[in-house]
Amino acid sequence: MQEEQAYYLNQICSENALYAQQNGKSKKCLIHTFGCQMNERDSEILFGFLTQMGYEKTEKESEADFILLNTCCIREKAESKVLSQLGELKKLKQNNPDLLIGVCGCMVQQKGMADTIRSSAPHVDLIFGTHNLHNLPVYVYNLYRGKGRQITVLEQEEAIQEGMPAYREYPFKALVNIVYGCNNFCTYCIVPYVRGRERSRKQADIVQEVKQLVKEGVIEVTLLGQNVNSYGLDLHDGTTFAGLLRELDKIEGLRRIRYMTSHPKDLTEELVQTIAASSKICNHFHLPVQSGSSRILKLMNRRYTKEDYLRLVALIRRYMPDAAITTDIIVGFPGETEADFLETIDLVKQVQFDSAFTFIYSRRTGTPAAIMEDPISLEEKKERLQRLNDVLGEIGRHINDGLEDKVVEVLVEGPSKTNTEMLSGRTSTNKTVIFAGDSSLIGRIVKVTITEAQTWILKGALAE
Ligand code: SAH
Ligand code: SF4
Ligand code: F3S
């Protein structure tokens, strides 16, 4: 960590210690995280800073001294959620003028957004973008010093920051950034505008971090990047994603390696071979296809065709017949016709996806697709989404039915969200399994016999 950061952290920490002494309780903080795992990881770092400042974590807004919204703008819905939350906070601030409120993340990084929030939400004390989260200590210090609202959004990314603190949610699994940003400019997508260009971390730094995590008890890592397959290419020193995976595979004590997300355009045979040869890299390909129509894929600037995608799936099946394949699909991209949509349905049936995240296209200002003709009504788009989800549900159910009576290895993650009496865990293929067991199993990999298949989850019983 930079010396400057450490200086501000120490200053804030001693003030907060004094506060705790005088008030008999520590200051508390709360971060609302919207969006993807990149944001989850960023929130872990922000929490890391706040913990070092002496803040304690709370789940209750009413008792928080500092509330931060780490925002997402991938679709309009994500933004509306943030804005309604921001509205709620206004009342809290009225009741508690000492409350600090911050807004950061992807939404703020959009052109003009910081100014909009500055003027429309005077209860916000702090605004920063995705490129300057490492400056949180300075901003908080300035707020403590009464230097007024802190609003800083850098237009461009800076050099990668290593060695930032982090507060990790789970002791046994961890998110690890490998490449930041995105160079692909899919025409519908805002991410390249709010996360900057691709920047890979050095392989040695990643290996070192994972080794340290394993020492601390982590057995599963999820490597993060908008397009992990292009990891290393910007370093121009021969570093590749396949090479990184081979290094991580050697780490003793590490049991599972996952990664998010693969772009089909650079999934190579070498990579599939590497994954097939490793017992740690999970049996799961999340390979977003977006559409089954080559015409739409071209308009989306995805740089592959339906046939290319089907060839990739065949390649995966050849080396790893048991691997789960999941995807992301957008329906109602501007100009998508019924015939285009039927190509998507056809592709889904051919691939037999285990599951998929499906979205209705959402217009993002500033992206090329935002100005494309879009004559299809929202009603029709909703109807397409429903038809697609029905087909996916049937396929998912059929695949899961085939798992009944099979024994699978499950990393136990914690109590089930729907029934806290039961445990919930994940298979290597990333399927959720619910079963009865003692909480001492949390964080361990156990064998479970599948007793009942449902469309999106499996029920099971401990096999040993
Ligand atoms: N980098 C990842 C995707 C990150 S965004 C990749 O390329 O696969 C996650 C998903 O959100 C995308 O795969 C896409 O399906 C969806 N998405 C992105 N922009 C969208 C938009 N404008 N409208 C609807 N869905 C969108
Ligand atoms: Fe968005 Fe495409 Fe980049 Fe994924 S690869 S983040 S969809 S631009
Ligand atoms: Fe959202 Fe930013 Fe992720 S826009 S999906 S939080 S990279």
- At residue 3, the pLDDT reads 83
Under-70 pLDDT residues of the chain = 1
| Ligand 2 first shell, C-beta below 6 A | 182, 184-186, 189, 191-192, 226-227, 263
User: What kind and span of H or E run contains 461?
Assistant: strand 457-462
Task: Determine if the peptide bond prior to 365 is cis (ω within 30°).
Answer: no
Averaged pLDDT of the chain: 96
User: What's the chain's length in residues?
Assistant: 464
User: What kind and span of H or E run contains 327?
Assistant: strand 324-331
* Whether residue 260 has its Cβ less than 6 Å from ligand 1: no
Cα separation of 43 and 63, whole Å? 19
Nearest ligand atom owner, CA of 183: 2
Distances (CA, A) of 77 to 107, 120, 290, 380, 446: 12, 19, 18, 18, 38
Cα separation of 167 and 231, whole Å? 25
Cα separation of 187 and 430, whole Å? 29
CA of 361 to the centre of ligand 1 (A): 9
The DSSP output letter for 102 is: E
CA of 182 to the centre of ligand 2 (A): 6
Cα separation of 103 and 348, whole Å? 39
* Whether residue 35 has its Cβ less than 6 Å from ligand 3: yes
Distances (CA, A) of 255 to 8, 61, 240, 245, 389: 38, 37, 21, 13, 33
- At residue 77, the pLDDT reads 95
Helical ranges in 176-218 per DSSP H: 191-195, 203-215
Pocket test for ligand 1, best of 36, 37, 40, 74 (most atoms within 8 A of CB): 74
Q: Which distant-in-sequence residues (6+ apart) come within 8 Å of 301 by Cβ?
A: 184, 185, 186, 187, 368
* Whether residue 346 has its Cβ less than 6 Å from ligand 1: no
- At residue 360, the pLDDT reads 98
Determine contact, residues 300/262, Cβ cutoff 8 Å.
Answer: no
Pocket test for ligand 3, best of 33, 34, 36, 186 (most atoms within 8 A of CB): 36
DSSP SS3 for 323 = coil
Nearest ligand atom owner, CA of 194: 3
Cα separation of 326 and 289, whole Å? 9
Cα separation of 142 and 464, whole Å? 57
Nearest CA residue ID for atom 1, ligand 1: 226
* Whether residue 39 has its Cβ less than 6 Å from ligand 3: yes
Cα separation of 256 and 92, whole Å? 43
Tokens of 400: 């899961």
CA of 56 to the centre of ligand 2 (A): 35
DSSP SS3 for 460 = strand
Nearest CA residue ID for atom 19, ligand 1: 189
Q: Which distant-in-sequence residues (6+ apart) come within 8 Å of 309 by Cβ?
A: 264, 287, 289, 292, 347, 351
Best CA proximity match to 160, nearest among 176, 175, 178: 178
Give phi and psi for 134, each to the nearest 5: -70, -10
Beginning with the edge strand found earlier in the chain, give each strand of the sheet holding 150-152 in spatial order: 56-57, 28-33, 66-71, 100-105, 126-128, 150-152
Cα separation of 169 and 146, whole Å? 32
Cα separation of 283 and 8, whole Å? 44
Determine contact, residues 359/336, Cβ cutoff 8 Å.
Answer: no
User: What kind and span of H or E run contains 314?
Assistant: helix 306-319
Nearest CA residue ID for atom 2, ligand 2: 186
- At residue 222, the pLDDT reads 98
Tokens of 180: 């930041």
Cα separation of 404 and 350, whole Å? 23
Distances (CA, A) of 294 to 169, 342, 437: 41, 12, 48
Determine contact, residues 195/226, Cβ cutoff 8 Å.
Answer: yes
Cα separation of 410 and 424, whole Å? 9
* Whether residue 367 has its Cβ less than 6 Å from ligand 1: no
DSSP SS3 for 134 = helix
Determine contact, residues 331/358, Cβ cutoff 8 Å.
Answer: yes
- At residue 57, the pLDDT reads 96
In DSSP terms, which residues pair with 412 in a beta bridge?
425
